[in-house]
Amino acid sequence: MPRLLVIAASANGGTLSITAPFHNDGETSDLDPDDALDTMTVLTLAAVVGGGAVIRTKLADQTSEVMGWKLVEFYAKPLSASEIFSAYCTDAVTGELIAPEWGVKYVAAPRLTV
């Protein structure tokens, strides 16, 4: 299944983000080695200063599922379906609600164990 991993780190009033496409097939995932290194760098920064991670999965019917985690002090807090919906459907500048994307289902993220 094709997926996108987006990591964002927020510090000093700015945001650094990276998007890495990967393919998941059961228990294995394929990610370009250069993308993996860059992604781990931003993930480490986000884990230290705060940020978030989102996985977007393209489904066979051309719809998508989106789930996310809030990253704080090396902990990934799973977001509920309503929290990820709110994050995607609120204008970051104005705080106004915006229409959700067509064909996107916002789902609760699972708890991560490392």
Q: What is the pTM of this model?
A: 0.82
What the block records as the tokens of 97 is 């609600």
Give yes or no for a contact between 66 and 88, defined as CB atoms under 8 angstroms apart: yes
SS3 96: coil
Q: Convert the pLDDT of each residue in 42-60 to its tens digit.
A: 988 888 888 999 999 888 8
C-alpha 90: how far from its chain's center? 16
| pLDDT score at 105 | 94
Contacting residues for 32 by C-beta, under 8 A, at least 6 apart:
20, 21
